[in-house]
Structure 1
Amino acid sequence: MQNGDWIEDMEGKCFHILPAATVPAVTTAPSQLTPNEKLELCCHKQQLPSTCQQFCNFDTFTQEKLLIALLGTQCPSAQLAKAFDCATSKVDHSECCRQAGIDRIHDGQCMVFCRTHIKTPPNVSGYVSCLSVFGTIKNCYRDHQMRHKNLFGD
Structure 2
Amino acid sequence: MKVKVLRARVRGSKSFQPVRSRSRNHFEEEDSIEQDREVLRQRLRMGKRLRNEPLTESEELELVSSSVAENRRRAGPIGSQDESFALQDPNHAFLECCMDRQLPDACLAKCNFRTYTKESLSAMYFKQDPCPLEAMKEMQFCAAQGRDHSECCARNGVTTTLAGMKCLTFCDQRLGEFTTSKPTQLDMSYVPCFDRFENMKACFWHDLTRFYKKK
User: What is the TM-score normalised by the length of structure 1?
Assistant: 0.70
* Equivalence for 1:138: 201
Change (3 A) 1:20 1:147: farther
> Residue 32 and residue 114 in structure 1: after superposition, are their counterparts in 2 closer, same or farther (change >3 A)?
closer
The offset of 1:108, in angstroms, is 2.5
- Does 1:93 pair with 2:155? no
What aligned pairs does 1:1-154 form with structure 2 within 5 A after superposition? 21=57, 22=60, 26-27=72-73, 28=75, 30-72=85-127, 74-106=130-162, 107-117=164-174, 118-119=177-178, 120-125=182-187, 126-147=189-210
Q: Percent identity over the alignment?
A: 29
- TM-superposed CA distance for 1:32, in Å, is 4.5
The higher radius of gyration belongs to 2
* Aligned-residue RMSD, C-alpha: 2.7
For 2:119 and 2:61, locate their aligned partners in 1 and report how far apart those are by CA, in whole Å.
Answer: 29
* TM score, norm. by length of structure 2: 0.52
Change (3 A) 1:112 1:32: closer
Paired with 1:46 and 1:35, the residues of 2 have a C-alpha distance of: 17
SS at match of 2:192: helix
Q: Distance in 1 between the 2:160 and 2:172 partners?
A: 15
Give the length in aligned residue pairs.
131
How many Å separate the matches in 1 of 2:148 and 2:206?
Answer: 12
Gaps of 5+ in 1: 1-18, 150-154
How far apart in 1 are the matches of 2:99 and 2:167? Answer: 28
Q: Which has the higher helix share?
A: 2
Gaps of 5+ in 2: 1-54, 63-68, 76-80
- Partners of 2:98 and 2:111 within 8 A in 1: yes
